Amino acid sequence: MASLQHQRKRARSLGCAVVKRFDQGGISAQSVRALFLTSAFVQFLRFDVVAEDAQRGTVSLRLPFDHRYTIVSDLGHYHGGVIAAFVDIAASMCCVMATGTPTPTVDLRIDYLRSPRNVDLIADAKMWKAGRSIATADVVIRDADGITYALGRGAFSVSNSKASMFPTLPAEQEGTR
């Protein structure tokens, strides 16, 4: 395994600055957004980042309705797995922004309150606590009219020792040299 110093040098050679952990001065929301939006799975879901605040540990995402997210296309009801994935991504994203470290899912709970049908969904996520090894975030899945469809809570590991290896966008690099 390469040393941290070697990994940082490699990241810089690829045009990426190294982001500091939150406790060393934070991680930019722009960097986290770029990291998540390069994921093939996230690209499949096609969500938009509506708002984010790294200091407060909050993020809001919008998932445009797509018939591919349903079980029976003519009915237009979302598959529960799509909603669960949306909750997981929103919760993880706000934890990454707040802690500056990778946050693999440890536990995820979803309460489905009603079935959304033919509507764009919004995920409002907030990290409530980050300890030495676990961060916890809550997510509300709603539509633009404020109707709540699901509530989720996730626990995420924040004890990854490679936390400083998140790449930033090249435009952010100038301020780090």
Per-residue pLDDT of 94-151, as tens digits, reads 888 888 888 899 999 999 999 999 999 999 999 998 888 999 999 999 999 999 999 9
Per-position DSSP letters for 15-83, written without gaps between them: T-PBPPPGGGT---HHHHHHHHHT-HHHHHHT-EEEEEETTTTEEEEEE---GGGBSSTTT-BBPHHHH
The whole-number pLDDT of residue 118 equals: 94
Q: What angle do CA 101, 106, 109 make, to 5 degrees?
A: 120
The tens digit of pLDDT for each residue in 48-102 reads 888 888 778 899 999 999 999 998 888 889 999 999 999 999 999 888 888 888 8
14's tokens: 């690829």
Tell me the C-alpha to C-alpha distance, in Å, between residue 97 and each of 3, 56, 79: 24, 9, 28
Which is more confident, 8 or 86?
A: 86
Residue 48 is predicted with a pLDDT of 85
pLDDT at 12: 45
pLDDT at 7 over 80: no
Give CA–CA dist 24/88, Å, rounded.
26
Residue 16 clears pLDDT 50, i.e. is over it: no
